[in-house]
Structure 1
Amino acid sequence: MQTPLSSLPPSVGLGLRRGLLHDLRNARPGDFDFLEVAPENWIGVGGAHGAALGQLAERYPLSCHGLSLSLGGLAPLDVGFLQEVRVFLDRYNVPLYSEHLSYCSDDGHLYDLLPLPFTEEAVYHVAARIRQAQDILGRRLAVENVSYYAAPRQDMDEVTFTNAVLREADCDLLLDVNNVYVNSVNHGFDPQAFLAGIEPGRVVGMHVAGHFDQSDSLKIDTHGASVKPVVWTLLAQAYARFGAQPTLLERDFNFPAFAELVAELQTIRDLQAGGRPRE
């Protein structure tokens, strides 16, 4: 019987990517504690992949991180899809379902996570949709701060906007530490001040990932590289403020040898235990 994610001690996880299936199924006990899945990619999947999901779900708790709900969009929420997600969450006893604080559709999927304007109107709009989603799901939803490159109208800064949405929707935050760093460089703010400004009681999990250094003033969130030292340092600072929340190492492509991912997971464990970040 799996252990609920919320009752684990400080824990580390990996995304259930089909390119990692062999390694995940053959991982040693203690390599990781939970797996994160995008429900869109697994609902209704049968055959060998569906069997692999079932086998892994018997061994590890699952966390769910959505891709297509488009919480900030204008089209009505996909109620039928949310009902399918609720069945999936219940079937696998998933303790945490998160989505992005962004939008990704407009009469069809745009295949990108686009930023919201940081305005009072947007706060009320997205918060109402989060509350509707929570009602359909029958549980709290966590939203993730996203990386963005072109900033629409900003009547307030990102941390003020984020806190306002969390309060108005009465939802939780999945804190993506790499996104905080990427945005801080691309948009010129202090990442430590961002962490200090977030209400601590809202953070229920964290993501950490690698990014691409396009230049000194432009960082691209890729999930296709190792975590950089500056992000490890920021993760340690996030733990100091919010506690050692369950943390996912995001790697979506360009997979290294599995031992390298396990080494990064061990770095997360070390930081959760109060160790020093990599230099």
Structure 2
Amino acid sequence: MLARPAVDLHTHSSLSDGTERPAVLMAAAAAAGLDVVALTDHDTWDGWEEAAAAVGRTGVALVRGAEISTSAGGISVHLLSYLHDPAARGLGTAVARARDSRLGRARRMVERLALDFELTWEEVEALLEPGGTVGRPHIADALVARGYVTDRSAAFTEILHASGPYYVRYDAPDAAAAVELVRRAGGVPVMAHPRAGARGRVVEDVVIEEMAAAGLAGLEVDHRDHDDGARAQLLDLASSLGLFVTGSSDYHGTGKPNRLGEHLTDPAVLEQIESEGYLPVVRP
């Protein structure tokens, strides 16, 4: 009997807040024993071409995706979009706007931090890949480089948390509206880590119900930021709303402790995603 394919549907490269180039990420996925990996950088799909070019030599199939910044009632909501048309104007415009807002937000956060820490925008900017999407992790890395904290996790816990004095919100599309944009672009929308309370406030079930009514396809349930209680509650919610569930690593290279393949998605769910998506999975 053949082993079930190992499918990890949430990873990041250095084009957003991961630490590895897309091709290196694909090689790491092969080394981790994965058969399929999704590249889901924040508010960009600039890494798709490089990752796709590595499929043949790594033997790992690629699901092209992105993690879209959205919000609901002032609470950040991350929306995974799989296999959408990269040329779709509505989604592309919304993502470009969110990316620009992230840049302005990061600059303002550094300005606040500079009142209490020796830190400059140039130090943060130097950590970005050309054209990459800036985020709090890059600020965290600059704080680590300065020796103020030991690692990214400590930076978020001690300095950059959402309730702290240095935090700045950024403009992002409404979560339900973003779901509609993903669907119009031929993508398959899945809500990322819905109960990751350690990251900040999480939305109530009514928001997820609104997203489902707008076309949400699934919930990311098996994730290291969800305890057993959260997973059980999300499984019940997904069942009641007719959503599929996924499991993923949310890998960031050395930027976070998450390990490739630590949570996986049922291959049958991947088949459903591909059947609904505009793009095919890139296979060896």
TM-score by length of 1: 0.40
Instruction: Compare relative contact order (CA 8 Å, sep 6+) and give the higher one, 1 or 2.
Output: 2
TM-score (norm 2): 0.40
> When you count strand as a share of all residues, which structure comes out higher?
1
